[in-house]
Chains A and B, each alone.
Chain A
Amino acid sequence: MKKKKLTIAVTGLNNIDSPGPGVPVIRGIKDSELDVRIIGLAYENLEPGIYMPGLVDKTYLMPFPSTGSEAFLERLAYIHEKEQLDIIIPNFDSELYLFIKFSGKLLEMGIHTFLPTMEQFEERHKDNLPEFAKKYKVTVPESKAIMNSNELANLPKPLAYPYWIKGKFYEAFKVVNNNQGIYYFNKLSAKWGLPVVVQQAIHGTEVNVIALGDGEGNTISAVAMRKQYITDKGKAWGGITINDERLLEIIHHIIKETKWRGGMELEMIKTDDGEYHLIEINPRIPAWVYLAVGAGQNIPEMLCRLAMGEKVEPITTYKYGKMFIRYSWDLIGDIADFEKIIIFGELKN
């Protein structure tokens, strides 16, 4: 594998206030011993990763997944014809369905992925979390998937204020009265579709764990983190690796039971009396992945190796007390680059 130069396509170059994981995924890959060429796949022409020096070798604009699978696959086929992709790492929840659905077709084309199965992807959806919790014996806050804002006035007990109202893919807002609930229901359903999920707010500390499963029940990598600084969008702007044994036990249990394949993130609330409530499972690498790399577990590299069929030994240790602090940085670009993305949908760096 060392000898072959891999061409790896990565999405999620939107390193903005609600950052996609693409840029840290690429940083992890570039920190590894893999010999790579990176192709950025962008959905918006101002995704910062397109313009960051030394990050991607070439970027292609992609049609939004919502435009349909035909246009999506056509564009991927075009890019593959030009670049001979070896691996694609999709990093958006909203595109995963298509990538999982067509992973067999992509493989026939010679493009490897390392993604959860459709069953794994579907059963951990926010609206399926209560069933997931029951099946795999984990604790989750009371929640209900709703299709109509009228349901907010008659939420089943013990759901009560304050609760979180969550979009199908992204975004969540804390709700303390019915009017607020209706407002956010309309906002979230218009943006992300239905259902919208209502989840009881749990008081405690948010702790997260990033992990990589090999699809056979083994946890190849797992790093626990506590958010230290949270933005008004609920995103971690600073975090620190922690030695939370119970949290690591939970992730090992879930990966073993589900035989999870690919990257994932568990978002949990640890209450003051030491109970853990699972609030969300993200079926992909999260944006804070570079902290795991810095703590000693290069998840993007391991994912690439697994995608290419290599045997990867699990890593069970990492450094505690490693921190990340995000920052913003004004990148100076040139209108000529912007023009190329707008006119041709491609930019060579």
Chain B
Amino acid sequence: MSKLNSLAISDNGFIFKPSTGESFTTNELGLIILNLLKEEKSADEIINEITEEFDVDAISAGRDLYEYLDFLKRENMID
């Protein structure tokens, strides 16, 4: 099972990492990104979804996405 798929993610934005017992909270944007990553969407596809869902341009959406990916990598939640 991939690191991402081993996470327990609730609709409320609560993330539980069973391998370490750590828990995190995320906002609506983080939740959308996580779900799209689980669906194996590419970065461009995720940026498109973000711009459609929120009132932001592609540059801002890209910045938010990569910042969030950095966080997920730092916390060892994705490879």
Q: Name A's B-contacting residues (CB within 8 A).
A: 205, 225-226, 228, 239-245, 270, 320-321
Q: How far is the CA of A234 from the CA of B61 in the complex (A)?
A: 45
Residue ID in chain A nearest B76 by CB atoms: A274
B19 at the interface (CB under 8 A from A): yes
- In the complex, 20 of the A-B residue pairs with CB atoms within 8 angstroms, ordered by the A residue number, are A205-B20, A225-B21, A226-B20, A226-B21, A226-B22, A228-B21, A242-B18, A242-B19, A242-B20, A242-B21, A243-B6, A243-B18, A243-B19, A244-B19, A244-B20, A270-B20, A320-B18, A321-B8, A321-B18, A321-B21
> Is B68 on the interface with A (CB-CB < 8 A)?
no
How far does the alpha carbon of A244 sit from the alpha carbon of B18 in the complex, in Å? Answer: 8
Q: Is chain A's binding surface mostly helix, strand, loop or mixed?
A: strand
- Shortest C-beta distance, B34 to chain A (Å), equals 18
Interfacial residues of chain B within 1-35, with CB under 8 A of chain A in the complex: 6, 8, 16, 18-22
Count residues of chain B with CB under 8 A from any CB of chain A. Answer: 8
Are A321 and B20 in touch, CB under 8 angstroms?
no
What A residues does B20 contact at CB under 8 A?
Answer: 205, 226, 242, 244, 270
Minimum CB–CB distance for B11 against chain A, Å: 16
The 8 A-B residue pairs with the shortest CB-CB distance, nearest first, are A226-B21, A320-B18, A240-B21, A242-B21, A243-B18, A243-B19, A321-B16, A244-B19
CA A241 to CA B8, docked complex, whole Å: 14
Taking CB atoms, residues of chain A closer than 8 Å to B19 are 242-245
| CA gap between A225 and B21 in the complex, in Å | 8
Which residues of chain B (51-75) have a CB below 8 Å from chain A?
none
In the bound assembly, the distance between CA atoms of A226 and B8 in angstroms comes to 17
Q: Which residues of A contact B18 (CB under 8 A)?
A: 242-243, 320-321
Give 13 new A-B contacts, CB below 8 A, not counting A205-B20, A270-B20, A321-B18: A225-B21, A226-B20, A226-B22, A239-B21, A240-B21, A241-B21, A242-B20, A243-B6, A243-B18, A243-B19, A244-B19, A320-B18, A321-B16
Assembly CA distance A21 to B22 (angstroms): 26
Of all chain B residues, the one with the shortest Cβ separation from A272 is B76
Complex Cα gap A225–B20 (Å): 9
Residue of B nearest to A274 (CB): B76
Q: Which residues of B contact A228 (CB under 8 A)?
A: 21
B22 contacts across to A, CB distance below 8 A? 226
Chain B residues with Cβ below 8 Å from A270 are: 20
Quote the shortest CB–CB distance from A245 to chain B (angstroms).
8
B16: chain A residues within 8 A (beta carbon): 321
Nearest chain B CB to A276's CB is how many angstroms away?
13
Chain A residue, CB-CB nearest to B8? A321
Q: Measured between alpha carbons, how far is A320 from B21 in the docked complex, in Å?
A: 8
Task: With both chains docked as a complex, state the minimum distance between the C-beta of A209 and any C-beta of chain B, in angstroms.
Answer: 12
State the Cβ distance, B19 to closest chain A Cβ, in Å: 5
Nearest Cβ in chain A — how far from B6, in angstroms?
8
- Taking the nearest CB of chain B, how far is it from the CB of A229, in angstroms? 12
Count chain A CB atoms within 10 A of each CB in B6, B8, B19, B22 and give the residue with the most: B19
Q: Which residues of B contact A240 (CB under 8 A)?
A: 21
